[in-house]
Amino acid sequence: MDYYNENFIQVNKNTNLLQSIEIMKDNGISHLIIVNEKGVLTGVISEKDIITKLSSKRILSLNPSSLHISSMVARKPEILTDFIDYKTAIEILLNKNIGCLPVVIDDKVKAIITKHDLVMAGKNIEASVEEYMTHNVLKLDASERLVHVTRIMMEKTYSSIPVVSSGRIIGIITDTSLMDTWLNFYKLVRSLDRDYRVRNVLLRDIISRDIYTISPKDKISDAVSIFLKEKAKSILIQEEGELVGILTKSDVLRAILEKS
């Protein structure tokens, strides 16, 4: 039970999209449990699900406050029907490429377990970061357009990508900052203008400047401390001022499976 969260946030399926996003932002969470009037699970929404819907040309002309959060549900949720050991939970999350598993007993969600919760299991792992980091790091130029960046992140299912200008890292784009950008775009641009105005939004205007870095020789336990304290999506690995890799929560979970 150590890694399960019983104080999770859930919303009714008829809650509107804007309210749901504000709930996610206010609570610093990447997933939202959706239930019906009887409290029965109807879906699990991620930041990626919301971004995918908001970036669809089909709804560019709509008012987001008229959309229910249930319309964002992209698939039948993966669930657990009992509390299982943390390593098995990690294997499911990695194999299914998902970030959250609800525990459903007697038709009610009793708890959830997420990648963020499970990262804690790596707090004593002595293995070096370079053993598990991704070496070939995809970088995006600050001049890229929002629509192109969104397509790349959704297709590759990345949670964050470093952003460069003139070869220098100036920030990072994350699922969170991308969701915020799309939300603000809908709020600030009237529906008739969105189709052409969206083409003018550049990456340099929406990136996060909060970059977390460590050395490839640092330990996985050092990275875990950053993930837990800062709620970082990823950590950039630098050596002598050069970007040599990137470490994600999934990388840490792989280390936990192998080393703990």
In CATH, what number is assigned to the domain containing residue 46? 3.10.580.10
Judgement on whether residues 107 and 138 belong to the same structural domain of the protein? no
Q: Which pLDDT score, from 0 to 100, does residue 66 have?
A: 85
Identify whether the C-beta of residue 162 lies closer than 8 Å to the C-beta of residue 110: no
> Is 48 among the domain residues?
yes
Question: Quick one: how many helices (H) and strands (E) in the chain?
Answer: 9, 11
Domain count, the chain: 2
Structure-block tokens of residue 100: 């959250």
Query: Which of 114, 118, 119, 116 has the alpha carbon at shortest distance from 44?
Result: 114
Q: Which amino acid type is present at position 82?
A: D
- Look up residue 182 and give its two tokens: 């799309």
Q: Which pLDDT value is given to residue 1?
A: 64
Cβ of 92: how many Cβ atoms within 10 Å?
15
The residue out of 121, 140, 166 marking a domain boundary is 121
Tell me the backbone φ, ψ of residue 247, rounded to 5 degrees. Answer: -120, 130
Q: Report the pLDDT value the prediction gives residue 257, as an integer from 0 to 100.
A: 97
**Considering the domain boundaries, does residue 5 fall inside one?**
no
Q: 156 with 90, same domain?
A: no
Q: Which of 152, 139, 188 is nearest to 48 (CA)?
A: 152
Q: Is residue 2 part of a domain?
A: no
- State the pLDDT at residue 155: 95
Final residue belonging to a domain, choices 64, 91, 121: 121
Structural domain boundaries enclosing 243: 129-259
Q: 73, 102, 121 — which closes off a domain? A: 121
What is the pTM (predicted TM-score) of this model?
0.93
Q: Are residues 185 and 102 in the same domain?
A: no
Looking at the structure, tell me whether residues 64 and 101 fall in a common domain: yes
Tokens 């008229």 sit on residue: 66
For residue 44, the cross-strand partners are: 33
User: Using CA atoms, how far apart are residues 160 and 217, in angstroms rounded to an integer?
Assistant: 22
Predicted confidence at residue 64, as pLDDT, reads: 78
Q: Is residue 4 part of a domain?
A: no
Question: What is the per-residue pLDDT for 116?
Answer: 96
Per-residue pLDDT tens over the stretch 108-131 = 999 999 999 999 999 999 999 999
Residues (pLDDT < 70) of the chain are 1
The reported pLDDT for the residue numbered 144 is 97
Nearest-5° Cα angle at 86, 84 to 88: 70
Task: Classify 106 in phi/psi space as left (phi over 0), alpha (psi -120 to 50) or beta.
Answer: left
Q: Are residues 251 and 146 in the same domain?
A: yes
Distances (CA, A) of 126 to 53, 186, 214, 221, 223: 41, 46, 15, 6, 11
